[in-house]
Structure 1
Amino acid sequence: MAIETWLAFFVACWVISLSPGAGAIASMSSGLNYGFARGYWTALGLQLGLLLQIAVVAAGVGALLATSALAFNLIKWFGVLYLLYLAWRQWHAQPVAMEQEVSLRPLGQPLVLVFRGFLVNVSNPKAVVFMLAVLPQFLDLTHPMLPQYAVMALTMIVVDLIVMAGYTGLAAKVLRLLRSPRQQKIMNRAFAGLFAGAASLLMLVRRAGA
């Protein structure tokens, strides 16, 4: 991959990662609920989902989602239901005394947060179709594909880790300002609304050409 092509892809990665979406909401929610050190595990799960999506595109399976309405809709509605589940959990999250360790909040175990982040990313079929449309534009067809996909995957993951660190850290800073149960309840319900909004947007997604 030529350096000029990589730089263009690098800029595109920042634009994609900074665009608010379900991943950003999940990172902020984890930062709010568990603090930065614990909440950042969600971002690692997001990257595992992203890596799987890139592998799917590299293997050509992404074309199936672009052409099969059934496959596309199965994954889409799984994503909708999972985001609604996260909205429900956030809505019913109980306020916690700031003197308590944030890591003691329920569902704050690292592997649980990693799996949560993984599901958020992997259950978005539009992301696979989007990458299927975008990634090939940066490929040099005269060179082996696998090393180029590896470079793009590494670039996307590093950029997204930085961006999600910002989202998680910002929410964790907000956590320190939430002293009263009422403030925490308002924030939890605001994030529940964001998850529900992300689910609503995913409901509206249609397969290209459908």
Structure 2
Amino acid sequence: MSWEAYFIFIVTTGVICLTPGPAALLIVAQGISNGMRRSYWAIAGIALANALYFALSATGIAALIVASSNLFSVIKWAGVAYLFYLGISTMLSKGSAFSVSSEPNVAIQGWAAFWNAVIVELSNPKALLYFVALLPQFINPDKPIGQQMLIYGSTCIALDAMTYSFYAWLGSKTKKFTANARFVKTSNRASGGLLMLAGILMAGVKRVAH
């Protein structure tokens, strides 16, 4: 593994992490409702999901999933259905992890936010495709594979933590507006709509292997 390849990996992965998506939207909502510190439950959930995808990629299992039309379709359409469910729940302010609320007993936090984040990230086929299609490009077969995977994996988790902490911070800065009922209602409708849009876009994701 060269320093040049490692630098390119950091830049590429950092840009992907910063690109808005369901995970980023979840963290922003958590930051608005629960503040930055309590948002780390959801951030940890996203990091765990990506660590699982990374482990699957390292063992080659993820490549088999992507190569299998049936398995990939199951993951994709389950993710689409889940995003639509979350989108409708958020628009109706039914207390999903994406819902903005000023009431502590309504806003999802703690372990509930953690597992919501895990499911959201695991149901995202784009995350699976990233680890299968992009990660292998940085692996040098002439160097110890295990060591490279450990370094890249640790870096990926660190980048997750930093970028989603930034999103949590952004969300926490608007927490004061949750006292405004119109802001809460508008935010939930916008978040719900974006989740369903993400579901529509996810439906168009195609596997990289045929």
Q: Same fold (TM over 0.5)?
A: yes
RMSD: 2.0
Partner of 1:8: 8
Residue 174 of structure 2 aligns to a residue whose secondary structure is helix
- Residue number in structure 2 paired with 1:67: 67
Q: Which amino acid aligns with 2:142?
A: T
Kept in 2: contact 1:38–1:103 (CA 8 A): no
**Structure 1 residue aligned with 2:196:** 196
Equivalent AA in structure 1 for residue 182 of structure 2: R
Superposition TM-score, scaled by structure 1 size: 0.90
Q: Which deviations, in whole Å up to 9, do the C-alpha atoms of 1:186-206 show, x marking residues without a partner?
A: 111111111111111111112
Q: Which residue of 2 aligns with 1:128?
A: 128
Instruction: Describe the superposition over 1:99-119 as per-residue Cα deviations: whole angstroms up to 9, x where unpaired.
Output: xxx5433432x1111111111
Amino acid of the residue matched to residue 173 of structure 2? K
Gapped regions of structure 1 (runs ≥ 5):
none
Deviation beyond 3 Å, 4+ runs, structure 1 = 94-98
Q: 1:56 aligns to what?
A: 56
Q: Which runs of 5+ in 2 are unaligned?
A: none
Cα distance between partner residues in 2 of 1:105 and 1:35: 14
Deviations for 1:134-178, whole angstroms, at most 9, x for unmatched residues?
A: 111111111221221111111111111111111111112112123
Matching residue of 2:18: 18
CA contact (8 A) 1:96 1:181 kept: no
Q: 2 CA distance for matches of 1:209 and 1:155?
A: 26
1:19-60 deviation digits (Å, cap 9, x = unpaired)? 111211111122222222222311110000000111111110
CA distance in 2, matches of 1:18, 1:186: 24
| TM-superposed deviation, 1:82 | 1.5
Match of 1:165 in 2: 165
Q: Is the aligned partner of 1:107 residue 2:115? A: no
CA contact 1:87–1:191 (8 Å) conserved in 2: yes
Identity over aligned residues, as a percent? 32
Map Cα deviations across residues 39-96 of structure 1 (whole Å, 9 max, x no partner): 2311110000000111111110122122111000111111112212221221122799
Aligned to 1:175: 175
How many residues were matched structurally? 206
Distance 1:183 1:133 in 2: 40
Deviation of the 1:179 alpha carbon:
2.6
Distance in 2 between residues matched to 1:194 and 1:19, nearest whole Å: 14
Q: What letter is aligned with 1:154?
A: S
